[in-house]
Structure 1
Amino acid sequence: MAVGVFATGCGASAGDDKDPEKRAFALSGRTLTVDSDDSALELVAADVDKVQVTRWFEGRVAIGGDPKVTWAMKDDTLKLRMHCSGVVSDCSAKHRIEVPRDVAVVVRDDDGSVKADGFKDSLDIHTKDGSVRVEDVAGALTLRTDDGSVEATGVDSRRVDVNTQDGSVRLDLTVVPDRVSVRGDDGSLTIGLPKATYRVTTGTDDGAVDVSVPRDEGSSHVVSAHTKDGKVTVRTAN
């Protein structure tokens, strides 16, 4: 596991924690919600019966309470919190979460990057500050970041909804989708699609538009891509 991918905070690096903690949480339903305030997250679909969590943490507080991290599961919501406050404080956390297969996942992260891999059910990720990376997914896909780029590859999803306020978007789909909607405020949008005919609408206030896929206003495969500042590209995937 690459240390740099998950490091958060300033100075302290969770990757320096050589003795990470592990814990298993039972899941009663078919949807897991992850509620995190300040941590890099990696989620993977795995052959497990319970939600398996590994956490790394490094924290230093010069004047203030002892830094710590907490985790708890209630009503199928995994709550992850980092407590790091004082006159001089420096903390970093990261979590790897292994999720049973055939479980839908919702992620809400206030501060930290999010990676997700291998999910076949619906996946809904929203981070306020951090990039989003997704690989090999098949269910309905919803990705949001207020500040960070979005990259999704190996996407078999029929419905994709992406929104970023500040950051580029790159999508590579491997099956012909029913609907793709991508919106950005500041950043380029690049969508790679399998060979098919699409109903495409695009728009940018400041940037070029390049649409090279076959187009048909009557197509049931709908693609929408709009950004305020950046280039919009809709192309046939390699």
Structure 2
Amino acid sequence: MARTARRSRTGTVAVAGLAVALMASVAACGADAGDDREPEHRAFALEGRTLTVDSDDSALDLVAADVDEVEVTRWFEGRVVVGGDPRVTWEMKDDRLKLRLKCSGIVADCSARHRIEVPRGVAVVVEDGDGSVSAKGFTRSLKIRTADGPVRVSDSSGPLEMHSDDGSVHALGVESRSVRASTQDGSVKLELGAVPDLVDSRSDDGSITIGLPREASYRVTTGSDDGSVAVSVPRDSGSTHVVNAHTEDGSVTVRNAG
């Protein structure tokens, strides 16, 4: 009996050691969707004028383009040593593009990225569970929310809303009249190319920097519980151009763009 027990313990230790070695090997390599040399492509018809992108775990690159349908390119790399085969799925229903990544097991490592080309003149709502989001070229309403990852928007002019639970939020070269940007953990940086009617920015833990056109004066409200505040734009308490910038921990800078 003692000999059998020793063999059992030896086998358990060996399996555990192998699992640790496999986990270390997978972690060292790190799956990267950029390594996918044969990305998949698919087009989805859009019935209305608003697209909702519902993703659980993927980096997303959205761009307004001269297309008739929603054109999606998908890069995926994944490996599961102990568990089911990894896979990604996509489907469109009621103008909601649903992107899902299945990657689970004792030793699992997966990475996905989607480039989404959207017909011009379409409003977009993005709901991303885990991953970075970038968007470019939109003239209609753009609303982006991600639980974990940075948000980047450029060359857009429609009403803009951006939020990240854990990541920076940046909008560069946008001409949106209404901009709302918030993050629980990260910086906020806004560079506006047109005089806005409203800028509302908040961060629980991070700095806020806002660049505004010189052509106007602004009604500015700022605050930082722990950090410096610097406002160098022309101020007017009666201005219709309202700018709010508040952070609990970090500096606040409101200056002229350029």
Q: Is the structural similarity TM-score above 0.5?
A: yes
The whole-number CA distance in structure 2 between the counterparts of 1:161 and 1:120 is 16
Residue 226 of structure 1 corresponds to 246
Q: Which whole-Å CA distance do the structure 2 matches of 1:131 and 1:163 have between them?
A: 11
Query: Which residue does the alignment assign to 1:75?
Result: 94
Matches within 5 A, 1:118-129: 118-129=137-148
What secondary structure does 1:206 align onto? Answer: coil
1:29 and 2:48 are equivalent in the alignment: yes
Match of 1:143 among 158, 162, 173: 162
Counterpart mapping for 1:1-238 below 5 A: 11-195=30-214, 196-238=216-258
- SS across alignment from 2:105: coil
Whose helix proportion is higher, 1 or 2?
A: 2
What CA distance in whole angstroms lies between the structure 1 residues aligned with 2:115 and 2:96? 16
Structure 2: unaligned runs, 5 residues or longer: 1-28
Q: How many Å separate the matches in 2 of 1:161 and 1:152?
A: 10
Structure with the higher strand share, 1 or 2: 1
Q: Please report how far the alpha carbon of residue 103 of structure 1 lies from its aligned counterpart in structure 2 after TM superposition.
A: 0.2
Letter in 2 for 1:216: D
RMSD: 0.7
CA–CA distance in 2 between the matches of 1:215 and 1:15? 47
Larger Rg: 2
Residue type matched to 2:206 in 1? G
What one-letter code is carried by the residue in structure 1 that aligns with 2:211?
A: G
Q: What's the CA shift for 1:186? A: 0.5
**AA aligned opposite 1:95:** H
Deviation readout 1:116-136 (Å, 9 max, x if unpaired): 000010100000000001100
Normalising by the residue count of structure 2, what TM-score does the alignment of the two structures yield?
0.88
C-alpha displacement at 1:151, in angstroms? Answer: 1.1
Deviation (angstroms), 1:85: 0.4
Q: Deviations over 1:50-96 (max 9, x none)?
A: 00000000110011111000000000000000000011100000000
Q: Secondary structure at 2:248's aligned position in 1?
A: strand
Number of aligned residue pairs: give it: 229
What's the % identity of the aligned pairs? 72
Q: What's the secondary structure of 1:42's corresponding residue?
A: strand
* SS of equivalent to 1:15: helix
1-side partners of 2:187 and 2:249: how far apart? 10
Distance between the aligned counterparts of 1:58 and 1:153, measured in 2?
31
User: How far, CA to CA, are the matches of 1:87 and 1:178 in structure 2?
Assistant: 51
Structure 1 unaligned segments of length 5 or more: list them: 1-9
Equivalent residue number for residue 3 of structure 1: none
